[in-house]
Chain A
């Protein structure tokens, strides 16, 4: 198995992240690691720069909001940091944990604290609403100013600029995170019950995607929107969303099978390639269509989980981070 895989390991630059990593992204060309200690690491591995976004706290969630990275902390702050390392305070919740964030490319942000959900659009207009139990996951619809809020016993869909209260999509159980399909037809939540739940928005048809041994913590849509890749099992489970029925009555595709659970997934932004990170620190690059695999990372010492994977916009480079504070930057070879 492993012997037959090609290898990209020589194209991976490993470096210490300085603290446990919980998120990774690129601000333009600049690699950014989000660290548990409330700081960000910006820049190339040779000369990273630490930015203290949350001096008194730890970061609970992060999202890209246009040209800035948004972070929410247990200090109650929502902070936007740009590629130059300049920070801007978006919201001060006076110590109330910021449990979830969402953002749009135009800089519109949403954050949740307890049952309260707030949006601030590009012009600075603030809207608030609340849901029946703690809001756990937020996601903006790809089109229109609409926010999905995952919570206990379902998800609520809210038009912040409309007077109407959020509309409840009910499904028993605890919904922890939310994502829209890129075409906006489906809403998918990851649940405490180690399953995904989906709604086809046009008719509220329910779809339950179950069978995971652990919670799904990482989900990623393919560039063409046809597939939703998920963590949580010892293979990467991909649900088909191309047809009008989505994954209903269909078997998912599986790839990147190993004897270790998948902790993180990230589709390439252009090609049908998928980066898969495992709980034992391995990273593979998989092509689900023919199950071809390339080895990206096989750690010698640090066997801690991959906690972050992110591609740059063009798909030339990929950044990864681990729970123990290691990081790596993969540069795909030409051709």
Chain B
């Protein structure tokens, strides 16, 4: 059922990565992505891939869960690999069969591309989505983007909107499940008929879902008003973020990784 979706979900835990400051994690992810795209030699790619698995190990999240998330992008990976193998031209011809020419560079690019995607998904999901609660994530984002307030960007409002949206995903999923069951009980059939008929079968789901979502939003707005919510100005926080030694250690490790990748690019 819908509630079994796990991709991009927070996985509670108490690992080093879970305890990192969310602001630091946002910086780290930027550094990490830069590192991934800086790598351009086999040795540096190996290092990037290894680092992704070190992060996975540090997070204490079941590897099966994270790697299972790769299934979703498998088709994209396979597609880009095929394109790279057959359409990249280079200097060293490995195989020629009629119109098909496979060069060393093509195979190399294909492998690099896969490594990049795997490192990107594994690294960023264990560094951020799996190990950071949605609340901590939006809180971190708000702080990181705080300087934009000078330009009159409503940073607090955006982060509040994001928090609320994330908070209501499980609720809406549950609600959708319930409405689907209720309409099935009234004889809606989602599996039979032409495409147009199946699309029409969605109306009895979408209409009540939208109605209840608007209703909920309205109620939430009133509840927030009642508790004197007035936006971000002068608002204090229940949990204050503090940077700890571990945050700087992990930052240091990431900088070393980036430096190593650059060095390896030059040496090899």
A and B: interacting chains:
no
Instruction: State the A residues within 8 Å of B (CB).
Output: none
Instruction: State the B residues within 8 Å of A (CB).
Output: none
